[in-house]
Amino acid sequence: VTPSGSADVVIVGGGVIGLSIAWRAAEAGFRVTVCDPDPGRGASWVAAGMLAPVTEAAVVEAALTSLGLVSARMWPTFAAEVEAASGIDPCLRTDGTLVVAFDSDDRRALEELLAVHRALGLSSEWLSPVECRRLEPLLSPRVRGGVAVAGDWQVDNRALLGALVGAGHNRNVEMRRKAVVCLRGDGTRIDGVELDDGEVLRPAVVVLAAGAWSGQVGGVPPSARPPVRPVRGEIIRLSGPADDPVLLRTVRASVQGRSVYLVPRRNGEVVVGASMQEAGFASTVRAGAISELLGDAIAVVPAVAELDLVETTARLRPGTPDNGPILGPTPVDGLLLATGHHRNGILLAPLTALALVAVLRGESLPVEAKAFTLERFG
């Protein structure tokens, strides 16, 4: 695409991925429109904001871990630049993550996790129960040991979304609060985006960044349809005194085999998550999921029982067959993908934006992203 003329790029989906691409593409000189009936209110709104290439590494493979590590290294600059561009601080916190084990089976699983980290060349460190409580004094005395992961950080995802909207606005990104009915084209190229009020936009390129719905958008030729499925996540927001926090850093725990994370913010908020359930597009909040998460969080940090329950929410992660995102070109002219970020959308936003802007400029994908095109699914 030549970065000039009208409607260079339409981005379908205004979550953290679509908004990051929109801002970076506009900075690069493209004229960008984002279509989303409710921008910034999907999965990225309820996310915990963890930037966790290491503690998410146990359940995924090495290429995805490398992708996450590269994107994590981009975060300090990305956070500073989005703040400078918007005046909104996304509250990057680099105080690391502590993973703890609740019983002896959990401890064995954590020892295996440490072995996975070592095999991947990651510098995680084993901590005794006493060392865990030295870092986090309000941990339950039952905790049987832990692993300190210095490189897994967090941002405030909601502040980030506000910052991305602001940064895009300041670069003249046009926000269309409309649903996309379908893409138009002849099967080999996309030449239009039809909105729910009947208007048809005619950009040179469409970026499909519609999260869990990316496989459902009408008019996408079968050869370009991303294999994305919804994975429900239920999550809880608690609130406590900012000047007397229950935790100083993100704590993840295995409690009798179940995973829970607690992400403390400087304003006293603690985000507790998250369930994983494949039930189509159902996105209600199940009582049992909330009860289990809260029970496990309180088992690990008993003082959590005293916090105020502010919010329980559910959204749909965009899952893919190999848990990796789908980035860049498709066999259909004028259609790019930026979807399937599953549990790692916030983490992978900087690298995704870099990759998509490279493709828009006619350059090749960054080397780490090359393994994550649609082509890998055959």
Q: Name the token pair of 287.
A: 């009582």
Site for ligand GLY contains 253 (CB under 6 A): no
Site for ligand GLY contains 162 (CB under 6 A): no
Closest distance to ligand GLY from the beta carbon of 6 (Å): 38
The answer to whether 102 and 257 are in contact (CB under 8 A) is no
**Cβ proximity to ligand GLY, 1 vs 272, nearer residue:** 272
255, β-bridge pairs: 258
Figure out which of the listed residues 42, 168, 233, 319 binds ligand GLY, where binding follows CB under 6 A: 233
Closest distance to ligand GLY from the beta carbon of 344 (Å): 6
Tokens 């986090």, located at residue: 136
**Cβ proximity to ligand GLY, 201 vs 300, nearer residue:** 300
Site for ligand GLY contains 317 (CB under 6 A): yes
**Cβ proximity to ligand GLY, 276 vs 358, nearer residue:** 276
Closest distance to ligand GLY from the beta carbon of 62 (Å): 18
Q: Name the token pair of 106.
A: 């959990």
**Cβ proximity to ligand GLY, 247 vs 332, nearer residue:** 247
Closest distance to ligand GLY from the beta carbon of 50 (Å): 5
Q: What does each C-alpha distance from 67 to 52, 63, 64, 161 come to in angstroms? A: 11, 6, 5, 22
With b meaning 16 or more CB within 10 Å and e meaning fewer, what string describes 167-205? bbbebebbbbebbbbebbbeeeebebbbbeeeeebebbb
The dihedral sign for the CA sequence 206, 209, 214, 218: negative
Site for ligand GLY in 116-155 (CB under 6 A): none
Residues in the chain: 378
Q: Name the token pair of 108.
A: 């064995």
Closest distance to ligand GLY from the beta carbon of 323 (Å): 11
**Cβ proximity to ligand GLY, 171 vs 317, nearer residue:** 317
Query: Which runs of consecutive H residues, i.e. helices, occur in 102-156?
Result: 104-119, 129-135
Measured between alpha carbons, how far is 102 from 321 in angstroms, rounded to an integer? Answer: 31
Which residue from 107, 148, 154 is spatially nearest to 269, judged by alpha carbons?
154
> Which amino acid, residue 377?
F
Closest distance to ligand GLY from the beta carbon of 87 (Å): 27
Tokens 């003329």, located at residue: 5
Figure out which of the listed residues 17, 25, 50, 147 binds ligand GLY, where binding follows CB under 6 A: 50
Site for ligand GLY in 259-298 (CB under 6 A): 273-274
CA end-to-end span of the chain: 26
Site for ligand GLY contains 315 (CB under 6 A): no
Site for ligand GLY contains 343 (CB under 6 A): yes
Classify burial at 38, counting beta carbons within 10 Å of its beta carbon; exposed 0-12, middle 13-18, buried 19 or more. Answer: exposed
The dihedral sign for the CA sequence 119, 255, 128, 249: positive
Closest distance to ligand GLY from the beta carbon of 348 (Å): 11
Closest distance to ligand GLY from the beta carbon of 264 (Å): 15
Q: Name the token pair of 229.
A: 């499925």
**Cβ proximity to ligand GLY, 107 vs 317, nearer residue:** 317
**Cβ proximity to ligand GLY, 170 vs 277, nearer residue:** 277
> Which amino acid, residue 49?
G
Closest distance to ligand GLY from the beta carbon of 314 (Å): 11
**Cβ proximity to ligand GLY, 214 vs 330, nearer residue:** 214
Site for ligand GLY contains 237 (CB under 6 A): no
**Cβ proximity to ligand GLY, 14 vs 273, nearer residue:** 273
List residues near ligand GLY by CB under 6 A.
48, 50, 233, 273-274, 317, 343
